[in-house]
Structure 1
Amino acid sequence: MSRVSITECPRDAMQGIRHFIPTEVKAAYLQLLLKVGFDRLDFGSFVSPKAIPQMKDTAEVLAHLDTSVSTTRLLAIVANVRGAEEAVAVAAVGIVGFPFSVSETFQQRNTNRTIAQSLDTVKEIVAICHVNGKIPLVYLSMGFGNPYGDPWSPAIVADYADRLVAMGVRDIALADTVGTSTPQGIARLYGYIDGTFPGISLGLHLHSTPAESRDKLIAALDAGCTHFDTALRGFGGCPMAEDQLTGNIATETLLQVLYERGMETGLNEEARAEALRYSNKVFG
């Protein structure tokens, strides 16, 4: 199996925290994470401060970072075209991510737009990224089902993936926004989408309880997944989903599973330990 690439997700870990984390603390934490050697760092988002108050200082945080010390690519999340224009204007940002939901209810909750409108938004974002030399990444959120009763099936997910690919999207992440996935469901959906679209880079962004994380990771690895989104200590969740903020899968859990399989990560363990210690200042 190819080397597993890891996107560390401090943005996802921090965004639901109610008290404001000082800009200097965020920046110091991200600077430590840049030294670890993750493939990508989901560091912040260019979205409305009313929607996600915690991310209102993303531009300021960026100004504090020294990206020259790392080969890690910075990933910024956006919710509309204006956010994408802000993100691509920053030289250090290499990847622009957009949360596209296969659930109509959640798409409107998350971006205040319908699925049809969001497809138009994706088309514009892809064009903006390509003109500016950035990579557009689209999350298929609620990709493993939803709690709203909206229609869902692997075929529905595949249909939206097909539309995204036709727009020029080559980076897609299947996202389990509220932790509804099962090991069997992960194996089935990942295998189906990966087999249907062999030319794309397909990753997994899973939210899970700690007790279920290990089995989900094993199922994903067995299905051939080599791109994972995780967060140190397993913090995070989507504040727009109105669930109990089921967290990200902990980076430590993924690394343990990879270690047991004899798979190399290429990460700087000393730097990761330092970031883990500092995370107490971020998350308490």
Structure 2
Amino acid sequence: MKLIDCPRDAMQGWPTFIPTAQKIAYLNTLLRVGFDTLDFGSFVSAKAIPQLADTAEALAGLDLAQSHTRLLAIVANLRGAETAAQHPQIRYIGFPLSVSETFQLRNTNKTIAEALIDVTRIQELCARTGQQQVVYLSMGFGNPYNDPWSPDILGEFTQQLDELGVRIVALSDTIGASTPATIAPPFRELTAAFPHIEFGAHLHTTPASWREKVQAAYQAGCRRFDGALGGYGGCPMAADQLTGNMPTERLIEFSAEKGEQLGLNPEALAEAMHLNQQIFAGGH
């Protein structure tokens, strides 16, 4: 089981700017915890996400020598990917591809067809740089726009990504719409149909529903999970204020119950939780 902690997702919509030095201290602590991957920042328009305009500065302050954790940065277009590719410390370049045409237009001002051109070019870029693209299928568990959704549609998208050579695909619960009934069938079908692709779950949840969601994905074959300490961030479009990112500490709890060996550093985790509360508590 792989855990991807996503401070980027927790930070990106935060209303007050988190000082770069504070970000660096938090990220360095998370690197010491020992997660498989850290979704640490993004290379997108500073106008769109001002909170992460300092991603390159934050990256320069990271102590990567003592950590086996790999870095992931999110981009929204080829230009962002080209910026990310200039930093060989970044192992993964993440791109959000929506299965909802309406959301793709709202999120990146592109159609799905145009976004797939970006995916193709980013894949070509990664082949040159030795990095790896992670494609997030956003609105992966349904959407509020009445756009078509089904496990078959997710399969059609994955087939296109497979033909391009994409090997990590994360189903993303953009608005907290997922339930066990919409989580289990896609993972069950996709993991069987594409055994050479690593499928991830980027789930959003209320405090009461986290376990049933993780359990549904795990039982259906998913072994890659995204979370954010404290459950902060995640769901700007959700009407329910309690809906946020899957809390990483809950994923750790679940993995322990399943006998999964994560090899995390408990002292660093405790320190990261403390810093997390200093940054986010009081404004959630």
Q: What TM-score do you get using the length of structure 1 for normalisation?
A: 0.96
Which residue of structure 1 lines up, in the alignment, with residue 28 of structure 2? 31
Give me the whole-angstrom Cα distance separating, in 1, the residues matched to 2:83 and 2:44.
Answer: 10
Which residue of structure 2 lines up, in the alignment, with residue 163 of structure 1? 160
> Bigger CA drift: 31-40 or 211-220?
211-220
Which residue of structure 2 lines up, in the alignment, with residue 262 of structure 1? 259
Letter in 1 for 2:15: R
**Which among 71, 76, 80 is matched to residue 73 of structure 2?**
76
Letter in 2 for 1:115: I
Which residue of structure 2 lines up, in the alignment, with residue 67 of structure 1? 64
Which residue of structure 1 lines up, in the alignment, with residue 13 of structure 2? 16
Give me the whole-angstrom Cα distance separating, in 2, the residues matched to 1:14 and 1:108.
Answer: 23
Paired residues for 1:83-162 under 5 Å: 83-162=80-159
Letter in 2 for 1:140: L
Residues 1:105 and 1:243: Cα distance change in structure 2 (over 3 Å) = farther
Which residue of structure 2 lines up, in the alignment, with residue 278 of structure 1? 275
Letter in 1 for 2:100: S
Within the alignment, does 1:7 sit opposite 2:4 as a pair? Answer: yes
Paired residues of 2:44 and 2:76 also in contact (CA < 8 A): yes
User: RMSD of the TM alignment (CA)?
Assistant: 1.2
Give me the whole-angstrom Cα distance separating, in 2, the residues matched to 1:18 and 1:129.
Answer: 33
Listed as ranges, the gaps of 5+ residues in structure 2 are none
Residues 1:80 and 1:98: Cα distance change in structure 2 (over 3 Å) = same
Which residue of structure 1 lines up, in the alignment, with residue 53 of structure 2? 56
CA deviations over 1:139-168 (Å, ceiling 9, x no partner): 001011001111111111110111111111
SS of residue matched to 2:95: strand
Q: Shift of residue 281 of structure 1?
A: 2.3
CA deviations over 1:178-210 (Å, ceiling 9, x no partner): 111111221111101111111111111111111
Which residue of structure 1 lines up, in the alignment, with residue 219 of structure 2? 222
Residues 1:243 and 1:119: Cα distance change in structure 2 (over 3 Å) = farther
Paired residues of 1:16 and 1:238 also in contact (CA < 8 A): no
Within the alignment, does 1:234 sit opposite 2:231 as a pair? Answer: yes
Q: Shift of residue 238 of structure 1?
A: 4.5
Letter in 1 for 2:21: E
Letter in 2 for 1:36: V
Paired residues of 2:235 and 2:245 also in contact (CA < 8 A): no
Give me the whole-angstrom Cα distance separating, in 1, the residues matched to 2:152 and 2:143.
Answer: 15
Which residue of structure 2 lines up, in the alignment, with residue 190 of structure 1? 187
Listed as ranges, the gaps of 5+ residues in structure 1 are none
Give me the whole-angstrom Cα distance separating, in 1, the residues matched to 2:254 and 2:68.
Answer: 24
Paired residues of 1:98 and 1:139 also in contact (CA < 8 A): yes
Letter in 2 for 1:66: D
Give me the whole-angstrom Cα distance separating, in 2, the residues matched to 1:80 and 1:261.
Answer: 38
Q: Shift of residue 263 of structure 1?
A: 2.4
Give me the whole-angstrom Cα distance separating, in 1, the residues matched to 2:54 and 2:104.
Answer: 24
Letter in 1 for 2:158: A
Letter in 2 for 1:167: L
Give me the whole-angstrom Cα distance separating, in 2, the residues matched to 1:193 and 1:225.
Answer: 10
Paired residues of 1:234 and 1:248 also in contact (CA < 8 A): yes
Give me the whole-angstrom Cα distance separating, in 2, the residues matched to 1:143 and 1:105.
Answer: 13
Aligned-pair identity (%): 55
Q: Shift of residue 243 of structure 1?
A: 4.9
Paired residues of 2:175 and 2:238 also in contact (CA < 8 A): no
Give me the whole-angstrom Cα distance separating, in 2, the residues matched to 1:277 and 1:262.
Answer: 26
Give me the whole-angstrom Cα distance separating, in 2, the residues matched to 1:52 and 1:238.
Answer: 15
Give me the whole-angstrom Cα distance separating, in 1, the residues matched to 2:178 and 2:238.
Answer: 17
